Chains A and B, each alone.
Chain A
């Protein structure tokens, strides 16, 4: 934690004037009282970002055919994985999230199955598998390009009462709750981008993803293995560190180089000018002639 406690006061005062040069924007990590877990739980509908963390292994779900499937099987295949959590009776958001992803895939010029894999996990323990199949069919048609069911599997959570889904949701910080009144799940519209190794790399909010953002998110998660060389070039300029979620070092480097160039240019100019001044002073004959107001 970068806040100072009382003991730091004197020291702070002593070195206070030296600090300016080293100052930069420090990220603030906040821990709940008596816990060393950053922000464990917000009992709310929300998304708590867990960038840079790994999703737990060993999670299993059920496919439409009723067979158990492991999330791990999608990982470590060299492709980033886009995960969505939702349910298919959902009157509004879930369908839009899926449609949004499908459209972004097309618009970004990415190929589902080749550049990345997607997976939709149902959070509803009472999911209707027919409805789920319909959704899957719809989005796959929307994606086009010959994408198959294997490229974008839709999984059920009917066998374990959605325990695995809840674990996955907790891991990515997706807080949802069941509203018994409306018999709906309350949740946010968000998709998660995982690296091929299962590390959380990006959160895509909303239902409409700008193609460039989407492409960058997938390319980044792929660690440069996806995308064209232009993408890689852009990435080199805009390096993204999932844990610190900052381009800051690169922006800072850009600024530092700029500022240093200017500083040295000015310093050079001043050196030349001052050397001339000193040389001039040496050459001046003492006692300049007293003038009568030459101009008036």
Chain B
């Protein structure tokens, strides 16, 4: 049975089934899709056969009046309805099971934000951006909310998906069946980098996970949020790593990635630009300027912005700073224009005229 399942999965390009929910879903999927393919092929083929079998043999050929019998009508309505209801009953049972998290599930809080996933464990647990560690063969419940627009939490290998809404909590749960790394995708359109709002679920064997959790709790006070289990986790390109750092260090709280002015200059198209500084000089934004600004943010303030950025000296290792620079360099729009950043969204504090 499982060999057949695997064959079907291969044929249908389905990813491996790595959660307890995935197995019944796939079985029903195979049933439904097989019937669908048979029914549509038969219909198309039957029409095609009829074209030749009953082709016009002489001009103005007359044809019999064919009328349906009650039995025919009954079959026509009954057969599809039977299959549909069968699938519904099976599907709904699975679905109700899927929407009812077990009582002993471990809770993880998920916060979605353009364009990142943030996880935090109840109690004294760690926080992580982009990477969620869970134990294998134990139910995990996710309590999810969004800080901006609607996102959707989708793990193809687990066959689960749940919209993440601003202003309210939604939940979903899963029980992973095999240790490994599984991709999280955002499946509800959420703006420019919707297609890059990815994350990863790291499923660990139970005891290993417990050990990891203990270490996390012990080390929590010494480390800033990192997603990794062994130092800075670094599984993609340097740009992706830089993006991760930017999220983890909170850079994006003040620097937007989409060209909108915020507390700090936007990073979109920042690299290569010539910025006018508060001091009246201009500076070319290059690697040196970017790195300097991380270490000594108040040194060269772009005109219209306030010296509010704290120093990241000692908080960023050299490779991390380099990755950040690479990430900033990667943020490009098509029509690159070398104009200075727009004004900041606040005005510098000045006293109102006294009356």
Contact = CB atoms under 8 A, between A and B. Distances in A.
A and B touch in the complex (CB under 8 A): yes
B49 interface: no
A96 B5 CA distance: 58
B127 interface: yes
Given A13-B92, A207-B263, A44 B127 contact: yes
A144 B352 contact: yes
B310 A91 contact: yes
B308 A92 contact: yes
B280 interface: no
Interface in B91-147: 92-93, 96-97, 99-100, 103-107, 109, 111, 120-125, 127, 141, 143
A142 B171 contact: no
B169 A182 contact: no
Given A91-B308, A99-B349, A143-B352, A30 B143 contact: yes
Contacts of B224: 181
Contacts of A30: 143, 169-171
B221 interface: yes
Contacts of A29: 169
B55 interface: no
Interface of B is mostly: loop
Contacts of B125: 43
B100 A141 contact: no
Contact of B352 (A46, A96, A142, A181): A142
Interface string A9-48: 1001100000000000001111011100001011110100
B347 A103 contact: yes
B57 interface: no
Given A32-B122, A207-B346, A106 B352 contact: yes
A28 B170 contact: yes
Contacts of A34: 103
Given A30-B170, A32-B107, A33-B103, A141 B120 contact: no
Contacts of A41: 122
B120 to A, nearest CB: 5
Contacts of B181: none
A92 B125 CA distance: 27
A197 to B, nearest CB: 23
A264 interface: no
A96 B346 contact: yes
Contacts of B97: 6
Nearest to A91: B310
A146 to B, nearest CB: 7
B171 A28 contact: yes
Contacts, number: 106
Contact of A33 (B105, B221, B351, B352): B105
Interface string B240-282: 0000000000000010000000010000000000000000000
B333 to A, nearest CB: 24
B151 to A, nearest CB: 15
Interface residues of B, number: 47
Interface string B309-330: 1100011000000000000000
Interface in A93-109: 95-96, 99-100, 103, 106
Contacts of B124: 43
A12 B143 CA distance: 25
A39 B109 CA distance: 10
Contacts of B105: 33
B89 A13 contact: yes
A228 interface: no
A8 B96 contact: yes
B354 interface: yes
A142 B120 contact: no
Given A9-B96, A92-B254, A92-B308, A32 B143 contact: yes
Contacts of A138: 349, 351
Contacts of B347: 103
A35 B171 CA distance: 15
Interface in B151-207: 167-171
Nearest to A8: B96
A96 B169 contact: no
Contacts of A91: 308-310
B12 interface: no
A33 B308 contact: no
Nearest to B297: A91
A142 B349 contact: yes
B308 A4 contact: no
Interface string A239-254: 0000001000000000
A74 to B, nearest CB: 24
A106 B350 CA distance: 13
A67 interface: no
B345 interface: yes
Contacts of A95: 308, 349
A143 to B, nearest CB: 7
A41 B355 CA distance: 47
B351 A3 contact: no
A33 B107 contact: yes
A245 B122 CA distance: 25
B353 interface: yes
3 nearest A-B residue pairs (beta carbon): A144-B352, A141-B351, A30-B169
Given A95-B349, A180-B221, 12 more contacts: A3-B99, A6-B96, A12-B92, A27-B168, A30-B143, A33-B103, A43-B123, A91-B308, A91-B310, A92-B310, A100-B346, A106-B352
Interface of B: 89, 92-93, 96-97, 99-100, 103-107, 109, 111, 120-125, 127, 141, 143, 167-171, 221, 224, 254, 263, 308-310, 314-315, 345-347, 349-355
15 contacts: A9-B96, A12-B92, A30-B169, A33-B103, A33-B105, A44-B109, A91-B309, A92-B263, A95-B308, A138-B351, A142-B351, A181-B224, A181-B314, A207-B345, A208-B346
